[in-house]
Structure 1
Amino acid sequence: MSVVAWACLIGMAGCSHPMRALVGGNMRIDGDMGVRGDMGVDGDINMNGTMNTVSKPDNTASPIRPVEINAGSGGSKSRIAIVDVDGLLIDRNFSGFGSMGENPVALFREKMRWIESDHTISAVVLRINSPGGGVTASDMLAHQLQHLKETRNIPVVACLMTTGTGGAYYLATHADTIVAHPTSVVGGIGVILNNYNKEDTLGQFNIVSLPIKSGDKIDVGSPERMMRREERDLLQAMADEFHERFIEQVRLSRGDRLVISSDEQEPTIDEMKDADERSPDVDAGDFIPFDGRVVSGIQAHAMGLVDQTGYLNDAVELAANMAGLSPSPALILLRRDNDRAMSEFDVTPNVPMTSILPIQLPGLDRSAMPTFLYLWQPDPSVVTSNGG
């Protein structure tokens, strides 16, 4: 049927008067009915009544469900849940081409709630592949994981994949054990807040900022003017506070396993492996990775940032052993119906949309406010990807 004819039919909804409609064209039906040829309709069509349409407010989201990827052995009903934590950790819904549009914080909470209520899940493996994200978002994820441990008291093993830095490593420190690939990028124990001064750029276009404000420091960090020294000190104090919070968490979680070096020069891996002095009282000046640097998985193990190097199957086997399960336990993923889940390495398509312009100008989009980040940030595009 032609588009015009359909438009005519839709327009007649609720009309009690006859309307003349012409429906022409070729209609072909092949199959068991055995009808093939031309069909024409010429005459009056009477429609009475009301047409009601119902639209689903969210046509993508469905409740998460367990997807079994390994049946396990031994006939036990106990299972291990692999919870994937991927990409930028920001408390906002993502939007982008091919993206699921998920809020990482909300999705993680939904998975934690499922595990809390499903007592067939005897252990959790956090499969982490993330450079980190917002300070608050990272802390919210860690709080939800801590709540799960207090509620269920089941072992949690974090497995760092390609990247486990910043807020992603912060989350990992709340697990019972951390496994990293030998080639993982680990660490990033630091804080960053991206700010830009565009005063000269605006001046080139004769644009002058004329803010009307009450409260002298309400526009601290505005890119429209040079930041004053006392304003920078205010923001620096906040960054230092969040950094110290990160350090305290590492001290609490890994203190007795961190390798301390009082040397001015960075120790070699062999020196760290042979170090005998280990103490929970680690100062920022004594432990090299507290300066925000990243290291390889092998270096992270030598420094005590992770418990062992290995792969995802090693993390699963470790979690099974901690939970008293067989070495080949049943494994599940927690996914939505429209999210593929063929193996434990599948990643939910959830990437933020960056600017559609050929170039990205940091600080240009003021609808995405900057935030303090636990984030390893070698790529400046992450600055404007989703509020960084």
Structure 2
Amino acid sequence: MSRKRWLALIAVAMLLVISLVVNVATSMIFSNTSSFMDSMAHDWTEQVLDTGEELGGSIVVLEINGVIQDTGDGGLFSATGYRHQMFLSQIEHAAKDPTVEGIIIRVNTPGGGVVESAEIHEKIVEAQEEYDKPIYVSMGSMAASGGYYIAAPADKIVASPQTITGSIGVIMESINVTELAENYGVKVNTIKSGPYKDIMSATREMTEEDRAILQSLIDESYDEFVRIIAEGREMSESQVRTVGDGRIYSGTQALELDLIDELGSLDDTIEMMRELVGPLNVVKYEPHVGFPNFLSMSFQQLFGTDVGELATLERILATHRSPTLKYIYTD
């Protein structure tokens, strides 16, 4: 790294310290201590999207953008994106908050992990059943596979005519490099405790027994997917299996198949919720621009596209590479 960039980095660090001091001082001066501490207790703040005609309650908009995967909070060079634990805490907070009269989840995702999707589903059902909160889902450009899984229990699903949804199913993938390794004289020595310990290994061919074991896992997760949709959409399992063959649908097609309830935008969904709970303020939980995000933005400004390469390298090193069950649409 050049001397000029090191000096710029030091300058950014100094500005960060000054900014933190000013922010804390300002918060203490212009906010009471309890509200300041309440704000700092979460990774987000409430931002008013639209002012309503009535006071005393609010409608909360939560967002799922990107692959539904629990990758932690990310590192120093991480770009902003979906943060699983933060989303779970957001929906739990909105459910428990007595001033929240309704929750809208804006979904824009190709899906993701089976476990993560199930965790979101559980939080949604908990908000509905334990806290009596109506939940509407507004689908963005894509709400496929795991994105539909988490939408299924919603009281109302709204999508654009051009939304890509569906892709109901489960997938598990791996890469086999056996022939490539042989061509280059690469030999892999594996010592294992049982015949299936290296199942889905990239360095040996899959056997029929391997495939049967993995197919049983896929079938089990798919059965759960079908059950969730059947319960959430009040459809028979046979109906779900008919439409749930992995194909994608447009919003218009999904409406014809009863996979969604209405066609419309996020604004339309907000108006639908207001018809149910009243013309309340609409708020959105916005993540704090904390220390890692601040530095990430600073690095991007200072070093341009270099940080993209660093972020890619970090994800490769940090991400668990083993094959996993996924509710995800892959093109």
- Name the TM tier (shorter chain): 0.7 to 0.9
Q: Which structure has the higher relative contact order (CA within 8 Å, separation 6+)?
A: 2
The 1:364/1:66 distance shift into structure 2, 3 A limit, reads: closer
For residue 70 of structure 2, what is the aligned residue in structure 1? 91
Contact preservation (8 Å) 2:227, 2:237: no
Match of 2:246 among 279, 287, 292: 292
Paired amino acid for 2:275: N
Candidates 240, 248, 261, aligned match of 1:307: 261
Aligned residue in 2 for 1:318: 272
- TM-score, normalised by the number of residues in structure 2: 0.76
Rounded Cα–Cα distance in structure 1 between residues aligned with 2:123 and 2:115: 12
Counterpart mapping for 1:155-304 below 5 A: 155-256=134-235, 280=236, 282-283=238-239, 287=242, 289-304=243-258
1:375 aligns with 2:328: yes
Task: Spell out, residue by residue over 1:208-246, the C-alpha distance to the aligned partner (whole angstroms, 9 max, x if none).
Answer: 111111121111111110011110111011111111111
Letter in 1 for 2:47: V
Letter in 1 for 2:238: V
Q: State the partner residue of 1:68.
A: 48
- Counterparts of 1:98 and 1:301 in 2: how far apart (Å)? 37
> 2:106·2:139 contact (CA, 8 Å) conserved in 1?
yes
Could you state the TM-score of these two structures normalised by the residue count of structure 1?
Answer: 0.65
Shift of 1:336: 2.3
Determine which structure has the larger helix proportion and give its number: 2
Cα deviations by residue, 1:251-276 (Å, 9 ceiling, x for unpaired): 112134xxxxxxxxxxxxxxxxxxxx
Q: Which runs of 5+ in 2 are unaligned?
A: 4-40, 291-307
Q: Secondary structure at the match of 1:317?
A: helix
Name the SS for the 2:187 alignment partner: coil
Deviation of residue 117 (structure 1)? 3.2
In the alignment of these two chains, the number of paired residues is 274
Distance 1:144 1:352, change over 3 A: farther
Identity of counterpart residues, as a percentage?
25
Moved more, 224-233 or 61-70: 61-70
CA drift of 1:158 comes to: 0.3
Aligned counterparts of 1:353 and 1:227: Cα–Cα separation in 2: 34
Preserved CA contact (<8 Å) 2:226 2:237: no
Which letter maps to 1:336?
A: P
Contact between 2:66 and 2:81, CA under 8 Å: does it hold in 1? Answer: no
Q: Contact (CA 8 Å) 1:181, 1:311: kept in 2 or not?
A: yes
**Cα gap change, 1:126 to 1:229, in 2 (>3 Å):** same
Aligned Cα root-mean-square deviation (Å): 2.8
Where structure 1 has 5 or more consecutive residues not aligned to the other structure, the ranges are: 4-60, 257-279, 340-350, 358-362, 379-388
Judged with a 3 Å threshold, the aligned counterparts in structure 2 of structure 1 residues 65 and 302 are, in CA distance, closer, same or farther, namely same
Which residue number corresponds to residue 103 of structure 1? Answer: 83
Change (3 A) 1:101 1:353: farther
Q: Secondary structure at the match of 1:374?
A: strand
Structure having the higher Rg: 1
Q: How does 1:109-128 map to 2 (within 5 A)?
A: 109-128=88-107
What's the offset of the Cα at 1:78?
1.1
Q: Secondary structure at the match of 2:102?
A: strand
Q: 2:108 aligns with which of 122, 125, 129?
A: 129
